[in-house]
């Protein structure tokens, strides 16, 4: 898909949905969720967030990339961990089992990058209860992957917590936390193996879980997507590390870097910059590249000037049973 094709869709974004016949609606940062009895209809829009703020402009086809990447990895990991997916009736839509989200994000890190590096660089040698050895450099592989949980915040930044703090602040027991921690590591190991087959290194990612009405845990939200994960290019990794150079990444980090270059990190009194059209096109290209690299599949854009109508049509079976 070339830049001209992407640019043609800048004025036809899936920015938000308002389907009154799909049930009660909740709008998150990226997804519009409709509750319908024991089902959730999750519509992944083209909104993009950074520093816990939704940016003013959308990114063409971003929602499709996220939804289809997540669907691919939900399918590829369901033998390890049960997940909430029931159906994927449209490139931007997942129908899922309704459950209660666990208020803890399980962040797994295999390399010293991002938030972990920033903490390490100012002297921290422990993160969320996990010890970090001296002498590491940015981008270096950790001795083994670590789980660094955060609490899920309704607004503002999620907070780093130790396992004991996470257990004390939620209804998750110590045994349940350990189960979810082990699941997270198993998912990370599977994701790492799949990434290496595609010439990538899975640097870090987050997992979210929910509790079904029967009390069982399932994997929810998204898995190994550009919004939840960071990847390095495997080719040249060792050389860049030895030279003390930054690693080449496939992730949303370059959007954060652009915002920081324009004096925005989500802090009070900072003014959110507008994303220029050429940068929006570049972001789309990066998202599509990541989809194709991590899945090994060609991206097939859902074209058309009216994504709302397409999605509403695809959800006809669910509209029939929806409660208003």
Angle formed by the axes of helices 62-77 and 174-197, to 10°? 110
Q: Around 136, how many Cα atoms within 13 Å sit in the side-chain half-sphere?
A: 25
pTM for this model (two decimals): 0.92
Main-chain dihedrals φ then ψ at residue 75, nearest 5 degrees: -65, -40
Instruction: Give residue limits of the domains in the chain.
Output: 3-98+277-320, 101-250
Cα(144)–Cα(188) distance, integer angstroms: 11
Q: Among 3.40.190.10, 3.30.360.10, 3.10.20.600, 3.30.200.20, what is the CATH number of 3-98+277-320?
A: 3.30.200.20
Half-sphere exposure of 230 (CA within 13 A, CB side): 21
What pLDDT is attached to residue 320?
A: 61
Give the three-class secondary structure for 321: coil
Report the alpha-carbon distance of residue 220 to residue 207 in Å, rounded: 8
Task: Report residue 199 as tokens.
Answer: 């010439």
C-alpha–C-alpha distance, residues 46 and 13, integer Å: 6
The residue-averaged pLDDT of 51-76 equals 95
SS3 219: strand
Residue 153: pLDDT band with limits 50, 70, 90? low
**What topology does CATH give the domain 101-250?**
D-amino Acid Aminotransferase; Chain A, domain 1 (3.30.470)
Q: pLDDT tens for residues 66-107?
A: 999 999 999 999 999 999 999 999 999 999 999 999 999 999
**How remote is the C-alpha of 60 from its chain's centroid?**
17
**Banded model confidence at residue 136, pLDDT cuts 50, 70, 90:** very high
């Amino acid at each position: 898909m070339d830049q001209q094709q992407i640019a043609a869709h800048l004025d036809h974004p899936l920015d938000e949905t308002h389907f009154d016949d799909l049930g009660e609606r909740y709008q998150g940062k990226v997804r519009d969720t409709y509750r319908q009895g024991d089902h959730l209809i999750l519509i992944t829009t083209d909104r993009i967030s950074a520093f816990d703020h939704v940016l003013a402009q959308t990114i063409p086809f971003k929602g499709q990339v996220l939804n289809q990447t997540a669907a691919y990895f939900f399918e590829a990991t369901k033998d390890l961990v049960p997940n909430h997916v029931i159906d994927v009736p449209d490139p931007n839509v997942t129908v899922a089992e309704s459950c209660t989200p666990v208020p803890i994000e399980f962040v797994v890190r295999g390399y010293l990058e991002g938030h972990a590096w920033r903490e390490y660089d100012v002297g921290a040698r422990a993160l969320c209860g996990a010890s970090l050895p001296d002498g590491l450099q940015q981008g270096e592989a950790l001795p083994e992957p670590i789980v660094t949980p955060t609490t899920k915040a309704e607004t503002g930044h999620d907070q780093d917590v130790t396992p004991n703090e996470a257990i004390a602040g939620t209804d998750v027991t110590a045994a349940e936390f350990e189960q979810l921690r082990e699941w997270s590591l198993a998912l990370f190991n599977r994701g790492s193996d799949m990434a290496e087959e595609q010439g990538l290194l899975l640097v870090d990612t987050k997992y979210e879980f929910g509790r079904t009405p029967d009390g069982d845990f399932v994997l929810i939200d998204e898995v190994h997507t550009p919004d939840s994960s960071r990847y390095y290019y495997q080719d040249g990794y060792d050389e860049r590390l030895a030279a003390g150079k930054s690693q080449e990444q496939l992730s949303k980090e370059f959007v954060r870097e652009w915002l920081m270059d324009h004096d925005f990190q989500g802090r009070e009194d900072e003014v959110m910059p507008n994303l220029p059209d050429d940068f929006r096109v570049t972001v789309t290209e990066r998202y599509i590249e990541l989809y194709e690299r991590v899945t090994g599949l060609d991206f097939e854009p859902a074209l058309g000037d009216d994504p709302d109508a397409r999605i509403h049509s695809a959800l006809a079976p669910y509209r029939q049973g929806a409660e208003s």
